[in-house]
Amino acid sequence: MHRKTAFYHSIPSVNTSLAICLVLLCCFCHKPNPEDSLKDTFTSFTQMDFPDVLHLKGLPDSVTDRSVHIFSDKGAWFGYALPEPEQTELAGSFSGPFLLTQNNGLWLSPMLSRLELLHPETGLPIPFHQNATIISNHAYPGKLVQVFETSTPSLSIKTELIFISKSSALTRVMISNTDETLTLPVSVRWSGEAFLEEVTFSEQTSGIRINFPDSEQVGMIKVNAMDGSSFSANENAYSITAHSEQSEKEVVQFTIAHSICFSENEWQKESSIVDNALNEAGKFFFQNTLEWDDKISTLLSQIASPYDSSTYHQIAIKCLQTLNTNWRSPAGFLHHDGLFPSYHYKWFNGFWAWDSWKQAVAIAYYDTQLAQNQIRAMFDFQDRWGMIADCVYRDTLIENHNWRNTKPPLSAWATWRVYEQSQDTAFLSELLPKIEAYHQWWYQFRDIDQNGLCEYGSTDGTLIAAKWESGMDNAVRFDSSEILQAPSGGYSLNQESIDLNAYLFAEKLYLSNICRELGMTKKSKRYTLDSRILQQRIQQTFFDEEKKWFFDLNLNTRKPILTYGPEGWIPLWTLVASEDQVAGIRNHMLDSNKFVTYIPFPTLAANHPKFKPDNGYWRGPIWLDQVFFAIEGLRNYGYDEDADLFTYQLLNRLEGLKNDRGPIRENYHPLTGAGLESYHFSWSAAHILMLMLE
């Protein structure tokens, strides 16, 4: 069955002139036949099946060292890494934490709590690191684990680190005697110092306090209560000593917690969680296993059949880990959970609008609550006219929220796709008036001639912010753009953009879906009618019959801006193009001189004189959101073989994906597949995941 008619409800024609091949969509992206995802028997996966999918090992050598990548969980604003296996002198300890709360990312310490074993009688360190043999040293989804053995004394030691909340990480040390003839009392000491000279340590009755100057932030280091524990601290360093006796083959357990809270009040609430975890560590580690095994199994059970193999499972889990580590909990101006584009790049420590919409769709496959909150997080920054800020931050000490522009309207798509997973009609009711206000804002402030076709623009009248609003900041189609002031007070580019109007077409259909689901039949039909009118205008206005491509249109000359870029295939993804138009567009998309590069679908045709594949940003490199739109656009019109081939090429050629522990990147070189720009990029992970799940 044809993809368009297989998954979309047909809409009766209102009149003959509007009888365009339009269908009311339940979703715009390919959804496989339900039988494709059924397994003969349900396969359960565990976090232990996926060691070191990402390389999260190393010791930072400075406060700003970005060569060491981290693990975090539960929306924490800090994270950790493992030492390299050959760094046996660091066995049993964890690198970090790396703080996302300080100057857009700084290492608090190279190793805040370094583990030592002490001679029970002399109190001197036992040099066990000198004869340590590393048995395993792995970063699993949701957990860091080290196992090593020593010969003098003969011990087996396992250390594990998990997050127990958004504010606290728990480390468990389990020591067992492997010498049947030896009875050995055990004492341990954790000690550390800060990279940051201004950070100091002080003794508390129950642990060590980390003091952050000129900040309300509170840090605490605590151990499980046991007789004989002792603390010491000066301004620059601290140590904690804990004692226990170990008899033959007995396993002794020690636990230590790190907490980073934004205020004293938050710490007071957090302290009871920490105390429970220190006293019942086994329960918290067991819960971590249950949660992650369930999350992994839920995600992998939805993998499309062509990718239901261990190789592609590894890629899916890499996407999951990337998204999870970029997850930040509510703090400061951010009132809901959401994701950074990349924790690793210091200028991405905030939430961006169209990043949020894309990330939410992928997240919904394994965590609908987080996906909903990701959408809410941006609507928290909706002004009284309906505009949503481009990007927002926890605080504005370094950067202000960007109200100079917004981003392309994909919120209705995201809301509907999250609803498909959650079936939460209350969420639809909550978001509907907000999406409607945003939708109408475009027509009020970004339609300078009030002809029903919108332009990208800015609130401050700057050309650069208007280009940012498209999301394709330095795209060639904007090279000759000018800024115009509208009677409404807003500012628009002097061109109507095909992608923007195609997104608005899709938004009308998603609003129709939402209204229909909420029983608002009359309003649903109105949005359907509006979409038909817009579809006809888009097909007639933006499509060049001679060149067989959709182009932006200059407002003054009404002539097309003849640049072949991804904006031309967005109408396929939104289903606004006619069948005849798609046939011509597909020919360009499959042209090896234009878009079938080694990695398919660059952001500018490869035969354009301004094509810059290496660090060209939106002038040639591969952006995976646009590749997703291209592939799913082809699939929407029945070109499944094309879509399958390009998906396969993507998954098998991108650096860092197949059989590789490298990070997912912001964009990629179209001729080599090499990763470019920032590491651990959320929307790249989201779109890779969607292609494997759709």
Q: Are residues 501 and 626 in the same domain?
A: yes
The pair of structure tokens assigned to 536 is 């006809």
**Structural domain contains residue 554:** yes
CA distances to 52, 383, 419, 537, 567 from 358, rounded to whole Å, are 26, 22, 14, 27, 17
Q: Are residues 16 and 122 in the same domain?
A: no
Q: Are residues 173 and 208 in the same domain?
A: yes
**Structural domain contains residue 513:** yes
d(CA 604, CA 597): 11
d(CA 523, CA 79): 47
Exposure string of 103-136, with b = 16+ CB inside 10 Å and e = fewer, is ebbbbbbbbbbbbbbbeeeeeeebebbeebebee
Predicted pLDDT at 246: 60
Return the DSSP state at 128: G
Distance from chain centroid for Cα 546: 41
The pair of structure tokens assigned to 161 is 């680190």
Are 568 and 587 within 8 A, CB to CB? no
Are 60 and 68 within 8 A, CB to CB? yes
Model confidence pLDDT, tens digit, residues 542-586: 999 999 999 999 999 999 999 999 999 999 999 999 999 999 999
E runs forming strands in 11-167: 23-25, 78-81, 95-99, 106-107, 114-118, 132-140, 143-151, 154-163
The pair of structure tokens assigned to 370 is 């987080």
Model confidence pLDDT, tens digit, residues 373-423: 999 999 999 999 999 999 999 999 999 999 999 999 999 999 999 999 999
Mean pLDDT of the chain: 91
Are 603 and 620 within 8 A, CB to CB? yes
521 has pLDDT over 70: yes
Domain that residue 487 falls in: 3-39+301-693
d(CA 452, CA 542): 13
Map tokens 């002399």 to a residue: 122
Span 125-140, average pLDDT: 89
**Structural domain contains residue 63:** no
Q: Are residues 117 and 239 in the same domain?
A: yes
19 has pLDDT over 90: no
Predicted pLDDT at 648: 97
- Portion of the chain with pLDDT greater than 70, in percent: 91
d(CA 504, CA 498): 10
**Structural domain contains residue 545:** yes
225 has pLDDT over 80: no
**Structural domain contains residue 270:** yes
Span 150-157, average pLDDT: 85
Give one DSSP letter per residue of 411-476, joined into a string: HHHHHHHHHHHH--HHHHHHHHHHHHHHHHHHHHHS-TT-SS----EESS--HHHHHHHHS-TT-G
Span 586-611, average pLDDT: 98
pTM over 0.85: yes
**13-22, 299-308, 532-541: lowest mean pLDDT where?**
13-22
Distance from chain centroid for Cα 337: 12
**Structural domain contains residue 568:** yes
**Structural domain contains residue 336:** yes
* CATH number of the domain where residue 184 is located: 2.70.98.50
Q: Are residues 98 and 178 in the same domain?
A: yes
Domain boundary among 236, 251, 280: 280
Q: Are residues 263 and 310 in the same domain?
A: no
**Structural domain contains residue 609:** yes
- Portion of the chain with pLDDT greater than 90, in percent: 82
Domain boundary among 245, 280, 315: 280
Using CA atoms in the order 287, 290, 295, 300, what is the torsion angle rounded to 10 degrees? 160
Model confidence pLDDT, tens digit, residues 160-201: 999 999 999 999 999 988 776 656 667 899 999 999 889 999
Burial zone of 236 (CB within 10 Å; 0-12 exposed, 13-18 middle, 19+ buried):
exposed
524 has pLDDT over 60: yes
Q: Are residues 263 and 307 in the same domain?
A: no
Q: What angle do CA 592, 499, 427 make, to 5 degrees?
A: 120
Q: Are residues 530 and 606 in the same domain?
A: yes
Predicted pLDDT at 131: 83
Rg (CA), the chain: 27
Q: Are residues 308 and 270 in the same domain?
A: no
* CATH number of the domain where residue 437 is located: 1.50.10.10
Q: Are residues 200 and 330 in the same domain?
A: no
Q: Are residues 84 and 31 in the same domain?
A: no
Q: Are residues 318 and 232 in the same domain?
A: no
Domain boundary among 280, 311, 334: 280
Q: Residue 467, Cβ neighbours under 10 Å: how many?
A: 24
How many structural domains compose the chain?
Answer: 2
